Structure 1
Amino acid sequence: MKRIAWFLSVVLLLSNLLGVPAAAASGTVALGIFHPDTGQYRQTQVQTAQLIFDGEPIQSDMPSFILNSRTMVPVRILAERLSAEVLWVPDNQQVIILSEKNTIVLTIGSPVAQVDGVDTTLPDGVSVGLAKYDGVERTLVPLRFVSEQLGAEVTWDNDTYTASVTSPAPSAVYSVTDIAADPASCLVTIATSSRPDCNIKDFGNRVVIDILDAVLTSGMPGSVAVNGSLVKAVRYSQYDQYYKDHARVVRVVLDLTDTASYSDFSFETGDTGLLIRPAESGEAPPVVTPDPSVDYSQFTVVLDPGHGGADCGAIYEGVNEKDINLAVALKVRSLLEQARVNVIMTRDEDVTVGLYTRAPLANDAQADIFVSIHSNASSTSNTVQGIYTCYYADATPGCDLAETLQTAVISSTGAFDRGLQCHPDYVVLRYTKMPAVLIEMGFMSTPAELSCLMDDGYRDSLASGIAGGILNYLSAD
């Protein structure tokens, strides 16, 4: 008979194992599994599994076990060893796993997970679960799915019922070989020995570029005086201690002049480095012109910036979807309020808002329309582009609103038109009592579109299109 060796937790070991049963010593164990349909735990006999991480057996007060052919493990044990953070959202019965690589959202009882905001079907439909064993309650997740999403490798030994997890290999380190700046053109060049992975941040009077897995070539001076119209100086140094998943990081800081800002620059990554140049001025965003014959003060519009707080949405190149959504929504609010529209925001700062509280907020306010603002992502392509607008069902006011909004936003931005999509499964569309839409403003997974979504001028164009579409719909109404 197959026998599984289980290791007790450190606390139990320090207690000299007094009065404690061995977890799953016989290879099977009875434990309580939570069933969301009844809201109760049901005692179930399960086959246990041994968990080994980077060659070392893992000790736990909750045994790993097999459920529908999938190995379930305590989520915190897995996440901590893969440098991820775990959040539990009780209102939605969701586990959110945050790492520098991606964000995973698992919902109890749901066969679909969200990975960086993209719906992903779980193997065998096995999702996050709750279990009780020997007085301990733990949240468990499917081992292979979560591990592989976090970059780890999983192997399975069927003879011993052992799952072995190998953490991701550290990223290869490359060199920053030169940093130069031209005062006349304000062109900044960062030369690297291979294509850089950069995290670029707006700090008001500074632009900060963190070059991940990189080291400075010895002998570099540490600063460049520029004294140009946009950049006063460029400073750089090794910045190794602040990224837990990247041992070596080079930080480059652009000190800006008093009149310059982040939106004045464009960033181009190539195989040999990063080029920072003044952004082209381009055309001014379209003007939102209210219909003077319409009293817009009679209308109430709810704007819903997607995600927020603990829920970052999609994350690419260190950029959180929640921040893009909020920035555009605030611009839309400003434009609508200029037209005297009564605007309600589901959030106007970086706070967590429950998925199921957004529609009731609009319903309670008896709003005329509801617009949810999101950014998109693809798990399979880094070239897909475009904007689309979602609605609840065909031949409804929501469909008409989606068409009006989509037309205005495409006209304002010049983005690729991906049309309309019917999504009766979206909570914010299903439970709102007024015309409701959800707009996906572009794909963060596509570098070119992410650059646009980070550009303040392009956000102005998005906001003008969304606000203009809303006013057009209210005028026609």
Structure 2
Amino acid sequence: MKRLLSVLLVFIMILGMSVTAFAAKQERTVVEITDGMSGKLQEVYAVNLLMGGRDIYTDVPSLLYTIKGKSRTLVPIRFVVENLGAQIEWDQKNKEATILAEEKTIVLKIDSAKAIVNGKECSLPNGVPAKLLGYQGNYRTMVPLRFIAEQLGMDVNWIQETTTATVDLPKQSITGIEFREYKDVPRVVIKTTGKVKLSPLYLPGSRFGGTDRLILDIPNTNIDINDPSLIKEGSEIKKKVYDMGVMTIRASLFEKSPRNVTRIVIDLALPRGYDVTFDEENNEIKVDFLNTVKSIKMENRNNADAIVIHTDEIPAYNVIDLGDRVVVDILNAKLKFDKNNILVSKNGVKRIRISQFNPDDNYDKDDKIVRVVLDLEKGQSFENIFVEDEGMDILVYVNSKPLQGFSYKKEAVNKSILKLSLEERDMYDEDYNDNNHELLLKVPKDQISLADTTLNIDDSMVKSIAIDDDGKYYHITIRLQDETTYKIKTVDDEKYNIQVEFKNKKIENSRYSGKMVVIDAGHGGKDPGASSSRLKEKHIALDTAQKLNKLLEEAGFSTYMTRADDTYVGLYERAAIANGLNADAFVSVHYNWHPNPKIRGVEVLYNGEDKSRDNKTFARIVKNEMVKGLKAVDHGIHNRPKLVVIRETKMPAILAEMGFMSNAGEEAKIVTESYRQKAAQTLFNGIKRYFDEVLLK
């Protein structure tokens, strides 16, 4: 009997350990791989990979492979092709990969500890060979990173704390910083002694009362600038500009280990798009501050479906009628995403084509233009198209005009503005119903062109806006949220503008006002995360993060989402965003998976090595709220000091696993809107408790 009890105890312990171990696997601390030649399964450490300071994502992760107690980092051979500028030839019969670069020909044979370089045989470091390895059903040829990279003239380093390999061009110096005007566009030029790669990061500080900044991290460089016009302040060099929206340019040595990283910070007077290139002929980094087109989506705006062209600053554009096509040219702009063809087949539009346009005779040859072409369905014409801009967005309406002279825009977490453009001054009546908390505006129909409709706004200031037509007047009923106040001012412009400013006093006076939470929706873009028969982690993590964002805003927190759509953001970049915005807390939202379909429940990961941040208390409080609110199995909190997003952040940070997609019962819940709303609510409850009981105590 005692033996049976001991066996059961060991089994329970192993089962409990397997859950937490797999949570780590999902964040690529430990992964299970299959040897493609022998079929053998084994667990190895996954390795993060930085190339020129940028995170590199691969479907089969880079990993630390050990033979006879000695380890080397193996990377998918595709990384060599896409990032190191080599070509690959594969000999299926002999299981040999040939890597072809300008001056090197490297032959690697699967499972052989020898390599042939330019015809000469040599031993691979530590005897770790090229391998054919599988991860979650994907098989890739994996090659020794340091050996290949150094053969191709790159520098390789290792960050032990986060199991990260860095690959950089040979070390260079930053020798100068200049500001110029080029083609009516502000340009910052950073001079170097040779080719460099860099990682840009834009921080929208103006959203939170500060200034916008463009940060350029240039790895494997030092600063060697001899320019008396630059100001030296401690370890930082500064250039004052205050021209064309650029205020100052600052340079300093940001990191010293394992290789120097120079940080250039460009302080901006207003939000700007940017384009960063490297001029190899002159050894110069060129930063042009021009607009960037970051996405195109179909959205409902101003009570009508619109094709929305999202840009990074107030756009200048031309609209051209080409019969069966409508062209929108965004001027002084750069295309920021890769997709160049979007099928629509809706509202009279067949598809949308996007490209960086080579200027024709209508433009100067050096103009930078993003061209958006709407291919119209048969029977459509330019007369059915209406184009306008709203803030940084260009809106294209087809077959449905928006409310004319009417716009509602949220400008901050506790501020929004309704704007009505009338033909004449003082042609409206105002009333306020205190019982229903409704603002009533009565506007003559001959002063503005609206339509009967109800707009469900549901933000922190306004619940809804209803427009009713009695034949002579439009009655505009604005239902306000609790403790929302309003102020009306009138502005004479080309038309007579009524501007109603709404503020939520509860949010404005909240004890959380000015407290910043960065919300990190896990995975995204080319990184799907875990998946089940009905779900992809990247989608449900984003949906839950968006719901959490709304709850935090309504409570008065300032928030920022590391990604707001299905895009890939590097792990180090996520942490850098939170650090750059000086956030008070960081929450990464994930869903879990396990090969045992019976495993279910929630858990929270944290970095327990940094005692100054008290991550453990944050994790414990949030986990308790998750267990209570979701009535979930409690898998506890776990110290995961090597996870980048919770190690590299400088504020209290956690990674929350909201349930197991691999468990049929839990998947059936996760797939529902109500569960994800409840999951967001539990995260909010935990964050609020942590601020109440710890940070604001």
Q: What is the TM-score with the length of structure 1 in the denominator?
A: 0.45
Q: Whose strand proportion is higher, 1 or 2?
A: 2
Larger Rg: 2
Q: What is the TM-score with the length of structure 2 in the denominator?
A: 0.31
